[in-house]
Amino acid sequence: MAAKKHRLFHAFRISRKLVLLSGGFLLVLGVSGTAALVFAPAHLIPGYEEEITGSCKTVYRSDFRRGEETRLISIISTPDPNPNDRVRTGMRIARHLAETEHPDLVIVQVMDAHGPTQRSELRGPAIGAEIVHAPNPSKTMATSRPWEVRYVQALPTGAGLFFGSRVDMRLIELEAINREIELAEGCDGDIVDEEAATVSQKEPAKSSGH
């Protein structure tokens, strides 16, 4: 499993290094002349599957104006089922958009990779997390804080929908996550499907409470 320790969620996982060292050590003890297996790639160890997080795809993106403000909304999908991974991915994309597009406000909504694909359905239970980022809060009327994040405390259903209680995160938690994000990169090259190409509009997509 990937080595991660999120102080925010206090979730502890077995580190990849520990899996490799312990697995290789047992192989050495059990079979003579196999010391080289200690350094074998993880995927060669039977039953080992590396957890890949942070992958995402841009489903919809729109930039618009609200008065004198420039705002950008992006809806992304990710195979990451856990709320903490959805939040980290969403915050990474929000910061990437802020640093490359320079809007006054960025809204990133995170849905599951198996969620609905129709534009009219990208709302309500389809949204597992919502990130609002204002690089300079004094330039927007939407928020007075640099980060606002809320997520659904639940794993996605088989249809990629989220049903559970909503959690609003504290700013101190969000600032800690932001400091841990080293590379603010886009979604898999930020290639947007033609039908979901960037458009201009007056109003952002509705999140229906998310």
In the predicted model, is pLDDT for residue 69 greater than 50? Answer: yes
Vertex 152 angle, CA 190 and 205, to 5°: 50
pTM over 0.75: no
- 3-state DSSP call for residue 140? coil
Average pLDDT over residues 87-116: 95
Q: What is the mean pLDDT of residues 57-78?
A: 92
Judged by DSSP in three states, 64 sits in: strand
Find the Cα–Cα–Cα–Cα dihedral 92, 126, 189, 186, rounded to 10°.
-10
DSSP class of residue 205?
A: P
What local confidence, expressed as pLDDT, does residue 52 receive?
52
The residue to which tokens 């300079």 are assigned: 136
H or E element in which residue 178 lies: helix 171-180
Closest CA to 121 of 205, 189, 22: 205
pLDDT averaged over every residue in the chain: 74
CA distances from 72 to 28, 172, 194 (A): 55, 24, 18
Provide the percentage of residues in the chain whose pLDDT is more than 90. 54
- Ranges 14-18, 43-47, 189-193, 205-209, most confident: 189-193
